Structure 1
Amino acid sequence: MSQFIDLHIQSGDVVLDAGLTPTYLTDREVIAQDIVHAILDTGLAHLLVSDRGTGITADTQIKIKLLVEDDVRIMPGTVRVEQPSQGQWWVYADTIDFGPISSQIASTASGAS
């Protein structure tokens, strides 16, 4: 049985299945979605994407790490924020009960997912 259950939200909309019924996430996926939404709500994802070498990026990454580590479901010291390619940002962390998570938090091409 799942400990956490939530609606699956993507690009601000509820994801529907083929029968137009809302889909749900459980446990690890819920935590990852909650983290992305928290980052988006604070405006930190926008700062990462909009920074063009002004030095804001390092500070923003630290703020994101601290925000994610505030989630009691995340193992402290495991949060990483990385930019695998220009304009794409990902957050990685280990949950206490469900293992590792990773989520794209910002992309200049498609927004957060």
Structure 2
Amino acid sequence: MSIYSDLHIKNGDVVLDAGNNPTYLSNRDVIAQDIVHAILDTGLANLLVSDRGTGVTQDTQTQIKLLVEDDLRIMPGTVQVEQNQVNKGQWWVTAKTIEFGAISSLIIEAQ
């Protein structure tokens, strides 16, 4: 049984199945998608990329953590914002949901 359900959005578009019908996400995946969209909507993800090598990056990570922790479905104190050590253009957010366990989502991937 799904508590949360939403359209699956990828790169700003609805994901379609083989029959050109929209696909849906549920529960943990909905929460992860909502968090990424909230971060993108605030413009904080772009700051992570544009502020590379400056002291502002740490402040941006803190702002993202606070934004994610405002979601009532997230367990406070579990949010991490990390840069991929192999691909420095990738930033990930991880957290624990209250009902569905851990989530991990790519926030942004700079070219």
Could you state the TM-score of these two structures normalised by the residue count of structure 2?
A: 0.96
How many residues were matched structurally? 109
- How far 1:96 moved relative to its partner? 0.1
From 84, 89, 109, the counterpart of 1:107? 109
From 92, 98, 107, the counterpart of 2:100? 98
One-letter identity of the residue aligned with 1:18: A
- How far 1:50 moved relative to its partner? 1.0
One-letter identity of the residue aligned with 1:7: L
The answer as to 2:68 corresponding to 1:68 is yes
SS of residue matched to 1:67: helix
Aligned to 1:13: 13
Aligned to 1:37: 37
One-letter identity of the residue aligned with 1:48: L
Aligned to 2:82: 82
- Unaligned segments of structure 1, at least 5 residues: none
Equivalent-residue separation in structure 2 for 1:92 and 1:41 (angstroms): 18
- Over 4 Å off, 4+ runs: none
Could you state the TM-score of these two structures normalised by the residue count of structure 1?
A: 0.94
One-letter identity of the residue aligned with 1:107: E
Judge which range, 33-42 or 82-91, deviates more: 82-91
- How far 1:52 moved relative to its partner? 2.7
- How far 1:11 moved relative to its partner? 0.5
- How far 1:68 moved relative to its partner? 0.2
Indicate the percent of aligned positions where both proteins have the same amino acid.
73
SS of residue matched to 1:3: coil
- Unaligned segments of structure 2, at least 5 residues: none
Equivalent-residue separation in structure 2 for 1:49 and 1:10 (angstroms): 20
User: Cα RMSD (Å) of the superposition?
Assistant: 0.6
Where in structure 2 are the equivalents of 1:20-59 lying within 5 Å?
20-59=20-59
